[in-house]
Amino acid sequence: GSGGTLVLMGRRPPASAFIPDAFVFPGGKVDPDDRRAPCPIPLAADTERALRSSASVSETAARALAHAAIRETYEETGLFVARPAKFHAPGSGSWRAFEDRGLAPDHAALGLIGRAITPSVSPVRFHARFFFADARAARGELRSNDELLDLAWYPLEEALRLPIIDVTRFMLEEARAFAAQPPHPGGARQPGRRLFVHYRGEKPVLTYESGSVSTR
C-alpha cells in the first residue's frame, strides 16, 4: 500500500475452541489432497532448501506444505495464489476451483518467514510453517467467511496492536524487518534468516536458523 506494508489477517470466531477472537493469518493443516496435487510451478530453490533443511522435511512434504498454504488461503479468503497453467485437481475438493479457472498453485510466489512448534501444555499442538507472498501474486476478490471474521488488509503496525498470540507477533515482527529491506535487483526477495519459535515450558525461545538464539 502507499502508506506502507499491509498484511492479510482475520479474527477467529468467538466460539472457536482454540484462541477465540484472536487475529491470525490464513492457514490450516495439510490435507490428503495436498500430498497428491501436482506441482507445475515449483518452489524457489532457496525456499525449498529452507523448508527441507529446517526440520528434515522431504521433497514431497515440502510441496504438500506449500499446497496447504495456497489452498487454505483460497478457502479462507477467496484469493488464488496461482498462475495460468495446466493443473489437474486431485479429488473433488477445493483444488477443483483452481482447475476450473485454468490456474495452478504458484509455489514460486511463496517465501518462508519461519516456523513454530506449540508448547507441550497447549491444548492444540502444531508445527506450523509461515509463508509469505506478495499480494500481486493473488487473483480473485477478497471475501469474508465463517472461519475468519473481520478479514482485511491491515497496516503492519496496526496488526501488531490487534489481539494476537505471541507466535503471530513474532512472525509479524519478522515480516516488518523483511519489508524494511531494500528491493532486490534480481527479482523476488527472500529473507536472509528464518525464525524458529519453540518453548521451554511456557517460555518462548526464538532461534534463527543461522544459529543465533534469544529468548523473550
> What is the full DSSP assignment across 150-178?
EEEEEEHHHHTTSS--HHHHHHHHHHHHH
Provide, rounded to the nearest whole percent, the portion of the chain with pLDDT above 90. 75
For the record, the C-alpha cell of 87 comes out as 493443473
Mean pLDDT of 150-172: 97
Categorize the per-residue pLDDT at 189 as very low, low, confident or very high, splitting at 50, 70 and 90.
Answer: low
pLDDT in tens, 47-96: 999 999 877 799 999 999 999 999 999 999 999 999 999 999 998 999 99
Q: Helices 45-54 and 59-77 meet at what angle, rounded to 10?
A: 110
Looking at the chain, which runs of residues are DSSP E strands?
Answer: 6-11, 23-24, 80-84, 103-105, 111-117, 127-132, 138-139, 149-155, 195-200, 203-208, 213-215
- 3-state class (DSSP) for residue 113: strand
Flag whether the pTM goes above 0.75: yes
Q: Can you tell me the distance from the alpha carbon of 102 to that of 94, in angstroms, rounded to the nearest whole number?
A: 14
For the record, the C-alpha cell of 156 comes out as 503492519
pLDDT at 32 over 80: yes
Categorize the per-residue pLDDT at 149 as very low, low, confident or very high, splitting at 50, 70 and 90.
Answer: very high
- Look at residues 51, 24, 70 and name the one whose alpha carbon lies nearest to residue 194: 51
For the record, the C-alpha cell of 205 comes out as 525461545
- 3-state class (DSSP) for residue 91: coil
Q: Can you tell me the distance from the alpha carbon of 95 to that of 179, in angstroms, rounded to the nearest whole number?
A: 31
Categorize the per-residue pLDDT at 188 as very low, low, confident or very high, splitting at 50, 70 and 90.
Answer: low
pLDDT at 18 over 90: no
For β-strands 195-200 and 80-84, DSSP reports them as unpaired
pLDDT of residue 215: 44
Higher pLDDT, residue 124 or 35: 35
pLDDT of residue 213: 43
- Average pLDDT over the chain reads 91
Categorize the per-residue pLDDT at 3 as very low, low, confident or very high, splitting at 50, 70 and 90.
Answer: confident
127-132 β-sheet, strand order: 127-132, 111-117, 195-200, 203-208, 213-215
pLDDT in tens, 94-146: 999 999 999 999 999 999 999 999 998 888 889 999 999 999 999 999 998 88
CA dihedral 126→130→131→134, nearest 10 degrees, is 130
